[in-house]
Structure 1
């Protein structure tokens, strides 16, 4: 089964499906899209204007993982619904934390 994150040498990469104006700021589980790609669903109250939703998603991720904001960066997808975030730190520990939050197994790769 696919996972929306993978361990990399610098931490983890997480594929996120953004839901701006979602009514609350929260991780919303894992979804496997029709193309077979797994995504971590994140909903935020912020509108997708001037980077506000991306900043809110970054904040949801960093809070869930107990990290400083500088540890979470948007790698690709600034204006797309599907985004890739890079999270710096101990990759296996971060993957384990996401697994405990979502119930999904991590994909380990380099």
Structure 2
């Protein structure tokens, strides 16, 4: 499944921050340097969905705040959004 998200790096606390232009907005503490933000995104989604990190990849937006994630899971998009809202 593919999911498009908006990332806000360098936040004081990681978490779901509502919608930004209709996309889930995720705050992360990592800076956008040397792939740290991308690594944190993969770690967060892996932990939230209880799947291995290898099942979460960034297919587009490696150097952008807008990212498309490829997630190998049996959960629906609605279930993922519900999980994000509780994050």
Q: TM-score range by the shorter chain?
A: 0.7 to 0.9
The answer as to whether partners of 1:16 and 1:42 remain within 8 angstroms in 2 is yes
Matching of residue 29 in structure 1 with residue 18 in structure 2:
yes
Deviations 1:71-108 (A, max 9, x none): 10000001111110010121xx24242132339xxxxx
Unaligned runs of 5+ in 1: 1-11, 104-110
SS in 2 for 1:49: coil
For residues 71 and 28 of structure 1, the distance between their equivalents in structure 2, rounded to whole angstroms, comes to 24
Which one of the candidate residues 71, 76, 85 is aligned to 1:87? Answer: 71
Q: 1:96 to 1:51 in 2, by over 3 A?
A: same
- TM-score where L is the length of structure 2: 0.84
Instruction: Quote how far apart the aligned CAs of 1:29 are.
Output: 2.7
Matching of residue 51 in structure 1 with residue 35 in structure 2:
yes
Deviations 1:41-78 (A, max 9, x none): 11111110000001101111111111110110000001
Correspondence 1:1-110 to 2 at 5 A: 12-31=1-20, 33=21, 38-90=22-74, 93-101=75-83, 102=85
Unaligned runs of 5+ in 2: none
Q: CA-atom RMSD, angstroms?
A: 1.7
For residues 27 and 62 of structure 1, the distance between their equivalents in structure 2, rounded to whole angstroms, comes to 15
Instruction: Quote how far apart the aligned CAs of 1:22 are.
Output: 1.0
The answer as to whether partners of 1:25 and 1:56 remain within 8 angstroms in 2 is no
Q: Mark the structure with the bigger radius of gyration.
A: 1
For residues 40 and 71 of structure 1, the distance between their equivalents in structure 2, rounded to whole angstroms, comes to 19
